[in-house]
Amino acid sequence: MGACVFLLPHVHFIITFFFLLVFVPTSYCEEDEFYRECFTPFQCGNLPNLSYPFWGDKRPEICGYQGFRLRCQEGPFPVITINDQEFYVKFVNQSERVMIISLKDLSQTVCPPGVAEILNTNLNETPFSYVPEFENVSLFYNCSNKATMVPTPYKISCSANDEQRDAFYATDWLLSKWNQDPSDCNIRVEVPVPKVDVEQLISGGMEALSKALREGFNVTYMFETISMCYECVHLGGICGTDSSTFRFTCLCRDQPYPYNCPKAKGNDGLNVNRKIVIGITVGVVGILIACAFNFCFKRIPSVSSIISLPKIVKNNQDLEAFLKNHGPLVVNRYSFSEVKKMTNLFKNKLGQGGYGSVYKGKLFDHRLVAVKVLNASKGEGQEFINEVASISRTSHINIVTLLGFCFEGQKRALIYEFMPNGSLDKFICYKSPLKSSDHHLGWETMHQISIGIAEGLEYLHRGCNTRIVHFDIKPHNILLDENFCPKISDFGLAKLCTKKDSIISMLEARGTIGYIAPEVFSRNFGGVSSKSDVYSYGMMVLDMVGGREEDFGTDHTSEKYFPHWIYRQLEQGNKSKLCGEISIEENEIIRKLTIIGLWCIQTIPSERPSMSKVIEMLKGSIEALNIPPKHFLSSPPRSPSSTFTISMTKC
């Protein structure tokens, strides 16, 4: 026992040494310089987290693909050249392969000095293609006096060679209406415009034209090497292009390869013999140390935690593998020391829940962020994976933006855009002594918030390549920006499914009590699907309308019959007495929200509307809505922290 007594003061040192020696990943070996340079996403102008196929000023050509070079230092936006025309890149969604671009020469003025050199927008023989919903608008310059028959709102005041010459713009429909001869003008430039803007161009004049040219149009892009890129990333590599041959290359940890990282070398790029030698050496030493621990410390409680190390390490390795294949391509990764700096050592706490705590922070470019630090004991990383996997696939005005993450041992954090107005929950007018609202936003604003949330959910269910079911829609998970635009957050319980899957396989209930659909509790009501989110949305809308007043009943059972109370108020035509007196128009909004909420919480999933139908109902007239049948269950008392979670399973 003397040896054991000698070792006792060094228990923590030995544990740390044992952990590092046995479990340190071989990926810390020297990496190929191109792999290291292309591994981290880059920022170009106002566009963060860009990766293959994009490259440019801050990114070598080997990291990208021909035709996707960005110039990052010219003007307010990155510039891309397509068929000798320069375009500002306003927005990029890499998961959907969608860009918004605008013609550089016409973005700032409709009468640029070099107008004679501007070409018609042409995407032929490029990786880019128009989104189907567009129409060309023609700009005519250097026109003769015959063009004066064009109505004044469509005229453009331009000069050529110090001489004032007429110019105007028109759609094909306007040209046919005016019977105008385009040959009266020396220059004609055609620019695509989204169809949604065409009507505004017809009625809005120069202001509408300037806005359309400035905001640009949507294009999709496709590159020939996309299938090879997918295989390369799947095997742990990074997509690139050989700058000498201009052919696809897979950048692996040890060196570039023509197609993908060799399977025999694994994701870390080490040769097999080297791995065998390292493995045997580490294994033998590890076994010897483990035996010493077992002999000397099997009765010492402080060392018993070693038993959980292999499980922790396996979970961490699984998370690392996932993040290598998904994380770096989408969002920035930060160290925990960087997280501490951006939160000023976690000084400003915004909130806390079962998942952990949220702190206000500031990125190094001075953008405000909300940093969610997850509890180390919260599951085995499933919620972290869910959140990164689902939200990094989204790009929508009503979905909160994930700006980065931290994964360092058991320290996990998620960095989001900061929402200055907090969650929707505090703007719902509760009259219970246990809850209160800061203030009510007004029923028109509440109506717009309902529409925004519905459009965000409809995007998750139908707008993504991968369908996402959220499973935890509630007021606490709806954040409001400075303009009270709602954004869906907290994807820790979400499930990712292919679009063809209509029914989701689940082992246990997940969500917050009071918002969970009946079929999630019991399959007797039907299969779990996106209609489960519709139910949660309906209960949330009824919360917004009813607010859980004190006078629902005489005891705690009143909350149990909340939907029935709402239904009774609707049948009786009662006005809401929440937050003061209301007008006739506001009462119509409340009635509309109530009817829609009750349709959404129908017990049988097939009787609930889809989110696209909900949006149609929200934007339509109250007269078009029928009161739904009284087919809904009692709602158990709810609590923001009462959640069910399970491991992430496939659909």
Residue type, 170: A
* Whole-number Å distance between alpha carbons of 519 and 534: 12
**DSSP-assigned letters across all residues of 315-331:** HHHHHHHHHHHTSTTTS
> Residue 93: phi, psi to the nearest 5?
-120, 100
Q: Which residues pair with 99 in a beta bridge?
A: 92, 219
Place of tokens 């689940």: 506
Cα atoms found within 13 Å of the Cα of residue 486, Cβ hemisphere only = 25
Residue 599 burial (C-beta neighbours within 10 Å; 0-12, 13-18, 19+):
buried
- CB distance 196 to 134 below 8 Å: no
**DSSP-assigned letters across all residues of 109-140:** -SS-TTGGGPPPP--TTSSEEE-SSEEEEEEE
Query: Which runs of E-coded beta strand occur in 344-480?
Result: 349-353, 356-362, 368-374, 402-408, 411-417, 467-469, 478-480
Cα Rg of the chain, angstroms: 30
Distance of CA 630 to the CA centre of its chain: 36
* β-strand pairing of 69-71 with 55-56: parallel
Q: Which of 105, 472, 490, 533 is catalytic?
A: 472
In 425-475, alpha helices (H): 443-458
* Whole-number Å distance between alpha carbons of 297 and 14: 12
* Whole-number Å distance between alpha carbons of 201 and 213: 11
Distance of CA 418 to the CA centre of its chain: 14
* Whole-number Å distance between alpha carbons of 435 and 355: 22
* Whole-number Å distance between alpha carbons of 399 and 393: 11
Within 8 A by CB and 6+ apart from 200, the residues are 208, 211, 212
- CB distance 78 to 66 below 8 Å: no
- CB distance 323 to 388 below 8 Å: yes
* Whole-number Å distance between alpha carbons of 415 and 336: 12
472 is catalytic: yes
Residue type, 607: E
3-class DSSP assignment, residue 91: strand
Q: Is the dihedral of CA 535, 538, 540, 543 positive or negative?
A: negative
372 is in an annotated binding site: yes
* Whole-number Å distance between alpha carbons of 468 and 461: 6
Q: Is the dihedral of CA 526, 528, 531, 535 positive or negative?
A: positive
* Whole-number Å distance between alpha carbons of 168 and 209: 11
Q: What is the DSSP letter of 585?
A: H
* Whole-number Å distance between alpha carbons of 22 and 30: 19
What's the angle, vertex CA 354, arms to CA 348 and CA 358, rounded to 5?
Answer: 20
The set of catalytic residues is 472
Q: Which residues are annotated as a binding site for ATP?
A: 372
